[in-house]
Amino acid sequence: MIVKWKELEVHDGIVYRRKDSPGRGEPEFIQLLLPWAQVEEALRQCHAGTVAGHFGIRKTLDQVKRRFYWSTWKEDTKRFC
């Protein structure tokens, strides 16, 4: 497992991961390091809640990626959808 400590930041006692822009001209963003206990609720909100509006796999992956991070986020999101 590779840990990238330089990507981590703390804001008001909450840990975030700074992510470089995914493409040219897009801004960098920060992702909340999500506790395991909150993963299912975050997936529900990004897929069918007020954040998203019942998106498919691709758009749900994008919603999760822009907001949250945990080690198995991509696999868990695909399985949830």
**What are the phi and psi torsion angles at 13 (to 5°)?**
80, 5
Provide the residue ranges of all domains of the chain, joining segments of one domain with +. 5-80
Q: Note the helical H segments in 9-72.
A: 39-48, 57-67
Tens of pLDDT, residues 23-45: 677 778 899 999 999 999 999 98
Q: Check: CB of residue 81 under 8 Å from CB of residue 56.
A: yes
Residue count of the chain: 81
Instruction: Evaluate whether the domain defined by 5-80 bears CATH number 3.30.710.10.
Output: no
Joined tokens for residue 68: 């949250």
Question: Which pLDDT value is given to residue 80?
Answer: 93
pTM value? 0.78
